[in-house]
Structure 1
Amino acid sequence: MTQSSARRQEYEIELPPLGDLPLHRDVSFGQRLWQQGWLRKTLILVVLAVVWEVAARVQGNDLLLPGFLQTAKAFIAGIGSGELPVKVWVSLKVLIKGYLIGLLLAFVLTTLAVSTQFGRDLLSTLTSMFNPLPAIALLPLALLWFGLGEGSLIFVLVHSVLWALALNMYSGFLGVSDTLRMAGRNYGLKGLRFVGYILIPAALPSILAGLKIGWAFAWRTLIAAELVFGASSGQGGLGWYIFQNRNELYTDNVFAGLAAVILIGLLVENLVFATLERVTVKRWGMQR
């Protein structure tokens, strides 16, 4: 069979000139402001404060619900007297100790889990047993074993941090691609060097998520524990400050203590963890 059709003539289509169309869309000043995340979050907080103040005025009982302005005055007075910063520092010292110990234990368990079959069985068994167990349920044992002090608080903090962080870290390690694993093996990486150079950087999004979850668990567990047996090393922390003012019916100080808990959570989330994500996983293109 022969092809008798002739080759089609080539031709060009001339496109009309673009003209003087603007290359960039004009964005108003208001739109540029609205694109700022800090401004949107601040607006949300302002709206919540207004709703709180209106609800308190409608309710009309300062003993049950002090307004936002009254709470702000109590918060400023607590900072000015030095009582509130001291309570916050006492709580943060205990929190940092328990958090670091829990982080270290989670790293050890996860390293064993990715290295040996026994480590995997150990991590799976321990997390199945202890992860569903509320940390606050261990308070009676903590009192028996460590007494009324910092040791009991650190014990329940380690429990609240360890399992959530270990699970997230291990799931992140399992999600590392085989290509990266083979690249590490080809370079002769084994043991801790393989974990440090290959697994941790690749699993960093999951690790950071576990760090944030562990921080949230630890912070609320500490406040709850201090509400129950609060004094540590002769001093009470922020939870004990809230409990004492509740007994004395200083509800504005109770709300000031709760505001301090919330503010510390916001600062840690938006300064510490957001900065870590920005300089690592977001900079590396691993997260939006």
Structure 2
Amino acid sequence: MASTDTKATRDDLAGLEAGLDALDAVEVRRSPVREILVEKALPPVLAVALVLAVWQLLVSLGVLGLLVARVKFVRAAIGPILQGLQSLPSVAWVPPAVLWFGLNDAMMFTVILLGAVPSIANGLVSGIDQVPPLFLRAGRTLGATGLKGVWHIVVPASLPGYLAGLKQGWAFSWRSLMAAEIIASSPDLGLGLGQLLENGRNNIDLPGVFLAIILILVVGIAIDLLIFSPVERYVLRSRGLLLKS
């Protein structure tokens, strides 16, 4: 009887020790610093960087347009190239972009930029060409020469043309994105409207095809109504070309 009690006690002690060992073996998982940075801090930084990159791109295009419009040898050298790039279908950039970067977001961004940049630059050049010479003479009379004349006379007067170039650049970039998604379809890129359109064609799903077309049209109209139309109205009102309602 005593031996049985002793054996039970030993079994209980062994079970208790095993439980304590299991508790000691449990490792409390802490979120590593890298994971916290990637999930919490990285998205806002990327958003700010994207805004700054877009702003820097617009400024760079503005400088390029000013150089092409105001410097003769630059216009002779770069002007025909910009015109040729604008007439080149943006879908032609998809194959080289895939070979350069593979099927990833960098390929998409490259195709979008190559489709939009020539239109924006040419829009600014056209806007500068349409600045009345009287404005420039009046500016020189008031002392606005050199960079002051460019900043206070040329840039404000060419703003409608630059805005038209931005609208055209948006249209070209939107078409470029749809064409790239249709041609370079990949699960790594996610499901976009272009891929939705292509999937509807492959599955002979006519309602799905028209749904994708309607969604593409709705996005284009929404961007125009929410972004470009208010800016265009503001520019026209500032020049007295549109009465305030």
TM-score (normalizing by structure 1): 0.58
In the other structure, the counterpart of 2:214 is 259
Does the aligned pair in 2 maintain the 1:180–1:198 contact within 8 Å?
yes
Q: Give the alignment partner of residue 123 of structure 1, picking from 78, 81, 85.
A: 78
Indicate the structure with greater helix content. 2
The 8 Å contact of residues 86 and 118 in structure 2, kept in 1 or not, is answered as yes
Are 1:239 and 2:194 matched, yes or no?
A: yes
**Counterpart position of 2:143:** 187
- Give the equivalent residue in structure 2 for 1:156: 111
Letter paired with 1:107: G
Which residue is equivalent to 2:181? 226
Q: 1:100 to 1:146 in 2, by over 3 A?
A: farther
1:71-126 alpha-carbon deviations (Å, 9 max, x no partner): xxxxxxxxxxxxxxxxxxxxxxxxx9997676444323112124423322233131
Q: 1:80-95 counterparts in 2 under 5 A?
A: none
Is 1:214 the counterpart of 2:169 in the alignment? Answer: yes
Shift of residue 249, structure 1, vs aligned partner: 3.4
Residue 65 of structure 2 is matched in structure 1 by 110
- Letter aligned with residue 190 of structure 1: G
Kindly provide the amino acid, as one letter, of the partner of residue 181 in structure 1. L
Q: 1: distance between equivalents of 2:52 and 2:213?
A: 22
Alignment deviations for residues 113-171 of structure 1 (CA, whole Å, 9 cap, x no partner): 24423322233131243222211112111111121111222222122212222222111
CA distances 1:152-199 after superposition (whole Å, capped 9, x unpaired): 2222212221222222211110111223223434434533x5433222
Q: Is the 1:172–1:207 Cα contact (8 Å) retained in structure 2?
A: yes
| CA RMSD of superposed structures (Å) | 2.8
TM-score by length of 2: 0.67
Q: Against the structure 1 CA distance between its residues 161 and 104, is the aligned structure 2 distance closer, same or farther, given a 3 Å change threshold?
A: farther
* Cα shift at 1:219: 0.9
Aligned residues: 192
CA contact (8 A) 2:105 2:189 kept: no
CA contact 1:156–1:221 (8 Å) conserved in 2: yes
Preserved CA contact (<8 Å) 1:97 1:154: no
* 1:84 corresponding residue in structure 2: none
SS of 2:236's partner is: coil
Unaligned 5+ residue runs, structure 1? 1-95
Is contact 2:160-2:235 (8 Å) kept?
A: no
> Unaligned regions of 5+ residues in structure 2, if any?
1-50
User: Whose RCO is larger (CA < 8 A, sep 6+)?
Assistant: 1
* Structural mapping, 1:166-177, within 5 Å: 166-177=121-132
Change in 2 beyond 3 A, CA 1:270/1:199: same
Contact 1:98 1:154 in 2 (8 A): no
- Residues of 1 paired with 2:56 and 2:116: CA distance? 9
Partner in structure 2 of residue 60 of structure 1: none
Deviation of 1:275 after TM superposition, in Å, equals 0.6
Asked if structure 2 preserves the Cα contact closer than 8 Å seen for 1:98 and 1:157, the reply is: no
